[in-house]
């Protein structure tokens, strides 16, 4: 039971970290392309 909770938190943390790193990059890239046109 404890292992399952720790595993879930770890997965959520990894996903949050990935999202935090990737999302702004895609957002700025999208804005840059829009302004370039």
Q: What is the dihedral of CA 16, 22, 26, 28, to 10 degrees?
A: 90
Specify the DSSP class assigned to residue 1: -
Specify the DSSP class assigned to residue 16: H
Q: Does the pTM of the predicted model rise above 0.75?
A: no
For the chain, helix, strand, coil in percent to 5 are: 95, 0, 5
What's the chain's average pLDDT? 81
Can you give the residue ranges of every domain in the chain? 1-37
pLDDT at 9: 93
Residue 33 pLDDT level (bands cut at 50, 70, 90)? low
């Amino acid at each position: 039971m404890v292992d399952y909770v720790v595993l879930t938190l770890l997965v959520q943390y990894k996903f949050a970290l990935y999202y935090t790193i990737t999302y702004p990059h895609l957002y700025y890239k999208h804005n840059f392309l829009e302004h370039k046109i």
